[in-house]
Amino acid sequence: MGTNNFVKVLETELIPALGCTEPVAFALTAATACKYAPGRIKRITMEGSGLMVIGVQSVGIPNTGGKRGGFLSSTLGVLAGDADMDMEVLSKVTEADVKLAEELIEALVAEGKISIDMVTPAPSIYLKTTVETAEHTASVSLWNEHNGVKLIEQDGNVLIGSRDEEATALKNQKGEIADSSFLSVDSIYDFCKSCDINELDHIKEAIKLTRKICTDGMENDFGLQVARTVQDQIDNGIIADDELSHILKWTTAGLDARMGGSDYTAMSNTGSGNQGIICSMAPTAAGDYRKS
């Protein structure tokens, strides 16, 4: 098996993502819907799996100072999101955008024109956002991946994808499974031992992004501050200042930052920013420790 197939997997599964993937998904579907329904916002409705609906309420939204919620994620996508930026859809959000989004939410809530509902059964990752404006109504659905937009409708007409495919995904719950028949422990090991390191620019970028967000988590008060607690315990001699502790503190620093609404981008792995941080920072931190 040629190394090119493995490189393609890395390029497909490793995607820069700003903010936790649930708020990003809400913002991305809303921003995409607005491309097909420009104009004054009249209504926003969201329907998602339990994982998505609960998750979006629990984690910070980037560039908002740690604010949370599906309403805010979606309205920011509508007002300031850049769908072409994919999982960095909220990278251009400003403080003024947040204020405008909150004002829009207040107006829509007062009129009963914004809602989030849970869909069952559904794949663990499923979200449909519908934006109604004075000009058009557009719906955008994604499933299996947080940026996996597979169905776009405008004024009741299907533009991309098919409703049958969506219905099958909802019924199947597990969704489609990508072909990974060539992957095995042996083939992955052989790739790691034989690949040209110059082909791994995507990995280098993942390490670069991960270092930044982990440093942010170590230096600032995010979330549960697990990393800083570990460092305090090391400083006080409660736990050993060894390789395992070094890996633990630097990896959890990134998770603290990401879950707490850091404005730094992470390289997501198979749709998860936390998985991306763990997969990138753990071996990187181990290497740093052994070099020190």
Residues 99 and 19 in one domain: yes
Residues 20 and 159 in one domain: yes
CATH number at residue 29: 3.30.1330
DSSP state, 224?
T
Please tell me whether residues 29 and 110 are part of one structural domain: yes
pLDDT of residue 168: 81
Residue 6 belongs to some domain of the structure: no
Q: For the chain, how many structural domains are there in total?
A: 2
Q: Which domain holds residue 207?
A: 200-291
In a domain, 195, yes or no: no
CA distance 142 to 89: 15
Neighbouring C-beta atoms of residue 181, cutoff 10 Å: 6
Q: Please say which residue of 172, 188, 218 terminates a domain.
A: 172
Closest CA to 276 of 255, 253, 257: 255
Q: Which of 153, 172, 191 is the last residue of a domain?
A: 172
The per-residue pLDDT for range 193-212, each reduced to its tens digit, is 999 988 899 899 999 999 99
| The pLDDT of residue 175 | 45
Q: Please tell me the pTM assigned to this model.
A: 0.69
**Does the pLDDT value for residue 19 go beyond 70?**
no
Say if 10 falls within a structural domain.
no
| Same-domain status, 206 and 162 | no
